[in-house]
Amino acid sequence: QKHYLVSGELKEWKGDTTEVYSTISSTKEYKRTLLGSIPDLQESEALDALNGALKAYDKGKGVWPTMHVKERIECMEVFVKKMKTKREEVVKLLMWEIGKSLPDSQKEFDRTIDYIEDTIEDYKQLDRNAAKFTKNDGVYAHIKRGPLGIVLCLGPYNYPLNETFALLIPAIIMGNTTIFKPAKHGVLLITPLLEAFQTSFPKGVVNVIFGRGRTVAAPIMKTGKIDVLALIGNSKSANALQEQHPKSNRLRLVLGLEAKNPAIILPDADLDLTINECLAGTLSFNGQRCTALKVVYVHEEISADFNKNFAKKVDELKFGNPWEDGVKLTPLPEPDKAAYIQGLIDDALSKGAKIINKKGGKHFDNFIWPAVLYPVTKDMRVYQEEQFGPIIPIVPFTDIEEPLDDMAESNYGQQVSLFGKDVYALSPLIDTLVNLVCRVNLNSSCQRGPDVYPFTGRKDSAQATLSVHDALRSFSIRTFVAFKDN
Ligand code: G3H
């Protein structure tokens, strides 16, 4: 694939390209296989894309930001219709590029379509509300929401379609113009959609570029012409980009970053339910989710039972290619990830933890069997780092203040899962937990959806809120016309 989209033109790139590899292979040898390549764009192409977005926005006077809401909605409806025709192609690439299972790849595509359609409906409602006048102290106001300007949008590899579009779609529909750089893994799957972007929106509204962040995103930020940095990924990349901006105090940040969501298992928890929820919570998509449970606190009274049964269930999971029936574990898309996980295991073992599941840590190619580690202590790397992969640290506790103190000390604050039967007795604890994170999941694992619920975090976990409803607000500002009753 040699094309990128700038100012409504699908340009052919004649320079160097970067090869895109897969860790999936139909031969059952999970060696890296070449899938294709993408343009290795340079600074001048990145700045062309920025100019495309600037021209289309034209300081707020452009066709797109001034277009009637109904027409912007029509463009989005055309886009979603065209996108639906690409389902099979995109789903296949999701499996090959990032190793996501077939049901989860289909879910990612369908969830994205739902997200766009719900965004359209919510925007219609927003517009209906804006049509009403309010009156206070003799002053009438017609309050609506207006765009912010130019949005640079970068998405993550674990949801290269869904989470990227959870940024891009609300940014576009609110009247901003955008430059979008897909994630490193899960990049080819954007290419079937280039033509839909090109033909659904006026030129320059969506500009799609490829290349290294340092080479293409940093120079765009350096111009100081970006109004919103929208990124889902890690805080290191977000900070590095933010620092490039000469007037970063003017920059709006819409960021979804790291998390270390804990599960807290109380002595009266329903063990079967807890184990199943913890299994999905820790290991869906091999633990490569910001919402994954990344540390499990289990009360010492039930730790023996929990550990034994949980470890057994982990070993029963099926490994294979994403399209095979019932597969839950797949090779990891990042080539050095298995080695990183092994490093965490070695560190924990050297400090006194044990692998409590028989298959834990077993390696082949870029796959590592999830290791369940117990007892994990604070000095271990697996306790401190966001592992974002198949390794499960279990920390025993006797007093609820122990996990609460750890959460209060943590740099992260996205979600928690609390397992215990007596929900009424838990209510004071829940009142504390909501002050430490933004979502408390009772007897269920952490997750982002349903997408109408607020998705955000405290401390280093997020800036701004992403739900269908909130994202429209994150990418806009309230503006109004006022007049007096005279
Ligand atoms: O990686 C972070 C995602 O927001 C996780 O989303 O909970 O729907 O899997 P999810």
For residue 420, give Cα distances in angstroms to 260, 403, 440, 444, 453: 20, 15, 13, 10, 23
Cβ–Cβ < 8 Å for 274, 283 = no
**Distance between CA atoms of 184 and 166, rounded to whole angstroms?**
18
- The DSSP symbol for 365 reads T
**Distance between CA atoms of 100 and 116, rounded to whole angstroms?**
21
Q: Is 449 in the pocket of ligand 1 (CB under 6 A)?
A: yes
Cα 410 to averaged position of ligand 1 atoms, centre (Å)? 20
What is the arithmetic mean of pLDDT over 209-238? Answer: 97
Cα 361 to averaged position of ligand 1 atoms, centre (Å)? 25
User: Which of 1-15, 21-35, 256-270 shows the lowest mean pLDDT across its residues?
Assistant: 21-35
**pLDDT at residue number 30:** 65
Q: How many CB atoms lie within 10 A of CB 409?
A: 8
Instruction: For 51-63, give the DSSP string.
Output: HHHHHHHGGGTSH
**pLDDT at residue number 364:** 80
Cα 424 to averaged position of ligand 1 atoms, centre (Å)? 29
Residue 1 has pLDDT above 80, yes or no: no
Atom of ligand 1 nearest to the CA of 447: 7
**pLDDT at residue number 483:** 94
**pLDDT at residue number 436:** 98
Q: Which residue has the tokens 């800036």?
A: 463
Q: Is 158 in the pocket of ligand 1 (CB under 6 A)?
A: yes
Strand residues in 336-409 grouped as ranges (E): 354-355, 363-364, 367-368, 371-374, 391-397
Q: Is 291 in the pocket of ligand 1 (CB under 6 A)?
A: yes
Cβ–Cβ < 8 Å for 320, 23 = no
**Distance between CA atoms of 156 and 183, rounded to whole angstroms?**
5
Q: Which residue has the tokens 């990032």?
A: 98
What is the arithmetic mean of pLDDT over 437-452? Answer: 97
pLDDT band at 321 (very low <50, low <70, confident <90, very high): very high
Ligand 1 mutation target, pool 101, 158, 161, 452, most atoms within 8 A of CB: 158
Structure tokens at 107: 């879910």
**pLDDT at residue number 204:** 98
Ligand 1 mutation target, pool 448, 453, 466, most atoms within 8 A of CB: 448
Cβ–Cβ < 8 Å for 359, 315 = yes
Residue 27 has pLDDT above 80, yes or no: no
**pLDDT at residue number 25:** 79
Cβ–Cβ < 8 Å for 436, 286 = no
The number of CA neighbours under 13 Å toward the Cβ of 186 is 27
Residue 325 has pLDDT above 70, yes or no: yes
Q: Is 448 in the pocket of ligand 1 (CB under 6 A)?
A: yes
**Distance between CA atoms of 340 and 282, rounded to whole angstroms?**
17
Q: How many CB atoms lie within 10 A of CB 16?
A: 11
Atom of ligand 1 nearest to the CA of 288: 1
Cα 456 to averaged position of ligand 1 atoms, centre (Å)? 11
Ligand 1 mutation target, pool 286, 290, 414, most atoms within 8 A of CB: 290
Beta bridge partners of 418: 264, 442
Q: Is 288 in the pocket of ligand 1 (CB under 6 A)?
A: no
For residue 296, give Cα distances in angstroms to 54, 96, 139, 279, 455: 47, 31, 55, 11, 22
Element (H, E) at 83: helix 69-84
Structure tokens at 427: 């209510």
Residue 317 has pLDDT above 80, yes or no: yes
Closest CA to 339 of 300, 317, 365: 365
Atom of ligand 1 nearest to the CA of 285: 9
Q: Work out the mean pLDDT of the chain and round it to a whole number.
A: 96
Per-residue pLDDT tens for 375-414?
999 999 999 999 999 999 999 999 999 999 999 999 999 9
Ligand 1 mutation target, pool 159, 235, 293, 452, most atoms within 8 A of CB: 159
Residues 6+ apart with CB under 8 A from 331: 23, 24, 30, 99, 365, 366, 367
Residue 161 has pLDDT above 70, yes or no: yes
CA dihedral 405, 407, 409, 411 (to 10 degrees): 180
Q: Is 123 in the pocket of ligand 1 (CB under 6 A)?
A: no
Atom of ligand 1 nearest to the CA of 111: 8
**pLDDT at residue number 33:** 87
What is the arithmetic mean of pLDDT over 155-177? Answer: 98
Q: Is 289 in the pocket of ligand 1 (CB under 6 A)?
A: yes
Cβ–Cβ < 8 Å for 262, 294 = yes
For the chain, percent of residues with pLDDT exceeding 90:
92
Q: What is the pTM of this model?
A: 0.97
Interior angle at CA 451, CA 447 and CA 452, nearest 5: 125
Could you tell me which residue, 128 or 53, shows the higher pLDDT? 53
Cα 27 to averaged position of ligand 1 atoms, centre (Å)? 30
User: Which of 33-37, 287-291, 415-419 shows the lowest mean pLDDT across its residues?
Assistant: 33-37
Q: How many CB atoms lie within 10 A of CB 38?
A: 22
**Distance between CA atoms of 288 and 159, rounded to whole angstroms?**
9
**pLDDT at residue number 38:** 96
**pLDDT at residue number 28:** 66
**pLDDT at residue number 63:** 96
Is residue 164 classed as helix, strand or coil in its secondary structure?
A: helix
What is the arithmetic mean of pLDDT over 323-339? Answer: 93
Element (H, E) at 276: helix 271-283
